[in-house]
A = this chain, B = another copy of it.
Amino acid sequence: MRIGELARQVGVSTDTIRFYERSGWLPRADRRDNNYREYDDAEVEHLRLLIDLRRMDLPLESAAQMAGWCHAGHCADTTTALPQIIAARRREVAVRMAGLRELDERLADLESHLKAQPTELTVLTSGGPCCDAAASVMGVAEGGCACCATGNVDG
């Protein structure tokens, strides 16, 4: 199987696979006569494991090492370490969720504040009123500003 097919099977780009090989996270693939990379089923599984571990948000370095060991057939017993790793990962996920929840609360606050007192931004900062031209930056509706033309910083 060539690199494109492998990429399709595991759901990553060929660039990513080449990057992994180049960086040493995957061993150098066998080559055909024409220098094209050639992969077999074991290598598909190796990459698939690596990608699965990445999807669990392990750092690439750790994921690659674990996948490499599994690929090499070392160690049948996962009972001691992996549960700890997973638990640690879940704790991190919980922290990040809490962070996002807090962000959403701040955004909701600001939203309702703007609804109540449209010209003040004190919830956000003590810096004062802000510019509609921001719309153009954010790719939202243009030209809705009451005090300046979009893109005109002197408005």
Measured in the bound complex, the distance between the Cα atoms of B118 and A127 in whole Å is 57
Instruction: Flag whether A38 is at the interface (Cβ < 8 A).
Output: no
Instruction: Flag whether A111 is at the interface (Cβ < 8 A).
Output: yes
Measured in the bound complex, the distance between the Cα atoms of B30 and A37 in whole Å is 57
- A77 near B141 (CB under 8 angstroms)? no
Min CB distance A116 to B, Å, is 11
Measured in the bound complex, the distance between the Cα atoms of B53 and A63 in whole Å is 34
Chain A interface size band reads 35 or more
SS class, residues of chain A in contact with chain B? helix
Instruction: Flag whether A108 is at the interface (Cβ < 8 A).
Output: yes
Min CB distance A151 to B, Å, is 11
- B100 near A130 (CB under 8 angstroms)? no
Of the stretches A11-19, A21-29, A42-50, the one at the interface is A42-50
Contact of A131 among B45, B74, B147 (CB under 8 A): B74
- A147 near B114 (CB under 8 angstroms)? no
Proximity string of chain A (131-155) to chain B, C-beta cutoff 8 Å, 1 when within and 0 when not: 1111101101100111110000111
Whether A85 contacts B140 in the complex (CB less than 8 A), given A49-B125, A56-B103, A125-B45, comes out as yes
Measured in the bound complex, the distance between the Cα atoms of B78 and A146 in whole Å is 8
Give chain B residues whose Cβ lies under 8 Å from the Cβ of A65. Answer: 134, 137
